[in-house]
Amino acid sequence: MHRLYRAATIWSAGAAPTSALLVSDGVITAVGSDALASSYDEIVDLGDVFVMPAFIDGHAHPLFAGREMLGPQVNNLQSVE
């Protein structure tokens, strides 16, 4: 299924803000004029909203925290004295 999403502002980080976004089978395939020129099955009007990619960082550094617990606790110190 190809859905064209319309919104007041769609920001894709790689191009100028636009108002059209094409999603095909769950994958973003086009933005802006490329999306409008594509064929689609449905138009979803999101109205007066701002759309942007989700910034998800799914990693952590638990070893660093464990290593810090072995030595003196210096994270909140304001001086070396």
Tens-level pLDDT at each residue, the chain (81 residues): 999 999 999 988 777 899 999 999 999 999 999 889 999 999 999 999 999 877 666 677 777 777 777 877 777 778 877
pLDDT given for residue 56 in this prediction:
63
Size of the chain, expressed as the number of residues it contains = 81
What's this model's pTM, rounded to 2 decimal places?
A: 0.63
Q: CA–CA separation, 16 vs 57, rounded Å?
A: 24
Dihedral angle, C-alpha 36, 37, 41, 43, nearest 10 °: 10
Q: CA–CA separation, 39 vs 44, rounded Å?
A: 14
Closest CA to 5 of 63, 61, 49: 49
